[in-house]
Amino acid sequence: MKIVFKDSGKEAGKEAELVKGRTILSYLQELGIEINASCGGEGKCGQCLVEVECVPGALSEKTEAEEKFVRKETSKHTQRLACQSRILRTDEPVFVRVPRRTYFVLESGEYKEIPLEPFVHCEGERVFWKWEDVGECRGAIYGVALDIGTTTLVVYLIDLESGEVVSVSSRENPQTKYGNNVISRIEFAKTKTGQERLEREIRTAASKMISELVNANADPGRVYEIVVVGNPVMRDLFFGYSVESLGKSPYEPQSVEAVTKTAEELGLGQGVEQGVEQGVVVNPKTRVYGLPLIGSFVGADALAVVLATEIYKNPSEKICLAIDIGTNTEIVLGNRDRLISTSSAAGPAFEGAGVSCGIGGVNGAVKDVKIKKIENREGEGKYEVLFKTIGDAPPVGVCGSGLIDALAELLEEGIIDGRGKFKEVGREGREGREGREGGGGEKEFRIAETERGKRISLSEKDIDQLNLAKTAVAVGVKVLLEKYGGGLGVKDLDTVFLAGGFGNFVDTENAIKIGLLPAVEPEKVKKVGNAAVEGARQVLISKTKREDAEAVAKRIEHVKLEEEENFMEIFVSELYFQKYL
Ligand code: FES
């Protein structure tokens, strides 16, 4: 008998033979069906929820992890975590529906006007890349800026004759089904066909996005150059380089140099599903250029942020910090005299993994939190939580920006102390509908409730996870400041550029309060959106910017945090919520 995937968009109808003991997730991965498996199948993220129709006993019993995440049941369907459900019976079919989840991806950065001097140009009826004739001119000539994030892909389609961004598209990185961080991808790449599968998935996804953008455009044409940015693991998987060396000491990529291949070499434009492709939109001779890497886990995306923010041009007295907060946070500090960088493993807590109420930026995720104490005439009170969700949908969990707000509010209200521990539970806490829960095990603070009445709460364990994540970022900043020398301190920073999707949605003041961002005046923090893809755009349309990229990459020093002598000392000094100790 078979396992059949239904109602899942283009994947509907895919099926495979039932094999006892296999998880549903393993089928999804094998059949290339998109699913988010942020925790790598450990039952911790709750993002691999599927709806199952089968006879009793066809699947293993629900695990404890599933009881926590399953939200709605109907008489017909049972919700299950794909990673936890194993096939027990093979004599009756199992039907699975994979719900589509809309992720909110930050697509745009700030477009900066720069002189148009692309490598691709038209002369008469022909198109040239540098001096090479790459084909006949068939209408518009386009270029693509592609940002390959560990979680999301963003594509800009750019008219190379005007420099304008014609269209933008984004989607989840299809590799998330193999885990949500670069380490899990490196591990998967080590498996028998792992590297090949990861490469194929990312290129197929990019091809589809490009084809859809070009075909949807009123003036279809062809793409003649693609500029790619991404962290070292993402960039190298895209270009077909082994990422094995990034998984073992000294954790360096095979090469940090810029890379240029042709679309034909990478097989771009192939594997585009029928119905999407209407003529090949990527010329086989299209050049695909990957920006250089900086070192270890600081990649082409961080370099692109440096280019977009132009901190490398700043005069000596203007020292800036650029931070792109993510599972792997990249930080660059300096100006035209000196640039130093590091990466810090903040982990996925701010993306919702490993935090009991955490969830990614999906519909229904709590994104803003305010806690108010309401007192009666006797001075007794209870806490009221005001929150907003993405899409104004019923709450399903709390995403990164909501977690930062909740933490900052708990600290400000004195509900938790500087070590992240709940203070004594007072009467008001027990009585408050949204108040602290003192009994029944772990202390927690209720933020909201799901439609089914399940509590969405922040526990001390969750706070510990968030504490570690913010400390990792803070240590990175502090090490760079110390390393820069000259007694450089937070107060000397001219601007803190906050790049990336996560940074764009956080409340700056709250991020400073919890110590995720350095304690500068909030006005000094400038959110620059998806600066990585903007850097890629600039490199696509400007030869000068590309020369800058290659020169700047060579002079950015790279610091490995764990190799710093005083790493532990700095770690301890940044641990906990310093302002409230
Ligand atoms: S809970 Fe299944 S992959 Fe995370």
Task: Specify whether 489 is located in the same domain as 569.
Answer: yes
Task: Specify whether 433 is located in the same domain as 484.
Answer: no
How many structural domains is the chain composed of?
4
| pLDDT tens-digit readout, 246-282 | 999 999 999 999 999 999 899 886 544 433 344 457 8
> What pLDDT, on a 0 to 100 scale, did the predictor assign at position 433?
39
Domain's final residue, options 457, 488, 518 = 457
Domain's final residue, options 268, 290, 312 = 290
> What pLDDT, on a 0 to 100 scale, did the predictor assign at position 404?
96
Task: Specify whether 451 is located in the same domain as 469.
Answer: no
> What pLDDT, on a 0 to 100 scale, did the predictor assign at position 271?
41
Q: Is residue 184 part of a domain?
A: yes
The answer to whether 363 and 101 have CB atoms below 8 angstroms apart is yes
Dihedral of CA 461/466/467/471: which sign? Answer: positive
Task: Specify whether 538 is located in the same domain as 425.
Answer: no
Q: How far apart are the first and last CA of the chain?
A: 61
CA distance 46 to 514: 26
> What pLDDT, on a 0 to 100 scale, did the predictor assign at position 438?
44
> What pLDDT, on a 0 to 100 scale, did the predictor assign at position 466?
95
Probe residue for ligand 1, chosen from 29, 38, 79, 362 as the CB with the greatest number of ligand atoms within 8 Å:
38
Q: Is residue 105 part of a domain?
A: no
Task: Specify whether 126 is located in the same domain as 256.
Answer: yes
Task: Specify whether 369 is located in the same domain as 315.
Answer: no
Task: Specify whether 22 is located in the same domain as 44.
Answer: yes
CATH of the domain at 164: 3.30.420.480
> What pLDDT, on a 0 to 100 scale, did the predictor assign at position 190?
95
**Measured in angstroms, how far is the CA atom of residue 57 from the centroid of ligand 1?**
22
ipTM greater than 0.95, yes or no?
A: yes
Task: Specify whether 325 is located in the same domain as 252.
Answer: no
Helix (H) or strand (E) holding 306: helix 300-309
Task: Specify whether 132 is located in the same domain as 256.
Answer: yes
CA distance 511 to 344: 17
> What pLDDT, on a 0 to 100 scale, did the predictor assign at position 72?
56
Task: Specify whether 432 is located in the same domain as 488.
Answer: no
Alpha carbon distances (Å) from 140 to 165, 217, 284, 372 = 13, 10, 17, 56
Task: Specify whether 341 is located in the same domain as 470.
Answer: yes
**Measured in angstroms, how far is the CA atom of residue 42 from the centroid of ligand 1?**
6
CA distance 247 to 230: 17
Q: Is residue 107 part of a domain?
A: no
What residues form DSSP beta bridges with 171? 153
The answer to whether 519 and 490 have CB atoms below 8 angstroms apart is yes
Q: Is residue 485 part of a domain?
A: yes
The answer to whether 462 and 445 have CB atoms below 8 angstroms apart is no
Probe residue for ligand 1, chosen from 33, 47, 101, 177 as the CB with the greatest number of ligand atoms within 8 Å:
47
CATH of the domain at 48: 3.10.20.30
Ligand 1, closest atom to CA 45?
4
Alpha carbon distances (Å) from 186 to 172, 343, 461 = 18, 17, 28
Task: Specify whether 78 is located in the same domain as 136.
Answer: no
> What pLDDT, on a 0 to 100 scale, did the predictor assign at position 350?
85
Helix (H) or strand (E) holding 427: helix 427-431
CA distance 488 to 474: 15
Q: Is residue 110 part of a domain?
A: no
**Measured in angstroms, how far is the CA atom of residue 68 from the centroid of ligand 1?**
12
> What pLDDT, on a 0 to 100 scale, did the predictor assign at position 349?
86
Task: Give pLDDT < 50 ranges for the chain.
Answer: 271-279, 426-435, 437-439
Q: Is residue 295 part of a domain?
A: no
The answer to whether 276 and 169 have CB atoms below 8 angstroms apart is no
Q: Which of 234, 216, 134 has its CA nearest to residue 168?
A: 216
Exposed e or buried b for every residue in 436-457, given b needs 16+ CB within 10 A? bbeeeeebbbbbbebeeebebb
Q: Is residue 233 part of a domain?
A: yes
> What pLDDT, on a 0 to 100 scale, did the predictor assign at position 107?
57
Q: Is residue 251 part of a domain?
A: yes
What residues form DSSP beta bridges with 320? 334, 495
Which protein residue has the closest C-alpha to ligand 1 atom 1?
Answer: 43
**Measured in angstroms, how far is the CA atom of residue 184 from the centroid of ligand 1?**
13
What residues form DSSP beta bridges with 444? 437, 459
**Residue labelled with tokens 């190799």:** 563
* Single-letter amino acid, residue 552: V
- Residue 101: how many other CB atoms lie within 10 Å: 15
Question: Which residue range(s) make up the domain with 124?
Answer: 120-290
**Measured in angstroms, how far is the CA atom of residue 30 from the centroid of ligand 1?**
16
DSSP code at position 405: H
Domain's final residue, options 457, 478, 493 = 457
> What pLDDT, on a 0 to 100 scale, did the predictor assign at position 220?
64
Ligand 1, closest atom to CA 37?
3
Residue ranges around ligand 1 (CB below 6 Å): 37-39, 41, 43-48, 81, 83
> What pLDDT, on a 0 to 100 scale, did the predictor assign at position 328?
86
> What pLDDT, on a 0 to 100 scale, did the predictor assign at position 98?
83
Ligand 1, closest atom to CA 39?
4
**Measured in angstroms, how far is the CA atom of residue 503 from the centroid of ligand 1?**
25
Q: What backbone torsions phi and psi does residue 315 show, to the nearest 5 degrees?
A: -70, 165
